[in-house]
Amino acid sequence: MKHCLLLLVSFLSLISSGQNQKKVDSLLVELIKTKNDTIEVDVLNKIFKEYY
C-alpha cells in the first residue's frame, strides 16, 4: 500500500514544477517514515494542499 501511495505522490511531484518543492520533499520523507495510519493521512493531506 505504501508503495502505491509513494508512486502516486511521486507522479504528482512530476506534474508540478513551480510548487514549494522543499516542503513537499520533506513531507514525502515523513510519509515514508511514518507507521501510523492517521499520521499518514495527515501527511497526505498536507501534500495535497501544497499542490492545490
**pLDDT tens digits, one per residue of 1-52:** 666 777 777 766 666 555 577 888 899 899 889 889 999 999 989 988 887 7
Q: What is the pLDDT of residue 19?
A: 56
Q: Where are the alpha helices (DSSP H) in 1-52?
A: 2-15, 21-33, 37-51
Q: What is the pLDDT of residue 33?
A: 92
CB 14 within 8 A of CB 26: no
pTM over 0.85: no
Which three cell numbers, joined as nine digits, stand for 7? 508512486
Q: What is the pLDDT of residue 1?
A: 63
- What is the number of residues in the chain? 52
Q: What is the pLDDT of residue 15?
A: 60
Identify the CA nearest to 50 among candidates 2, 16, 11.
Answer: 16
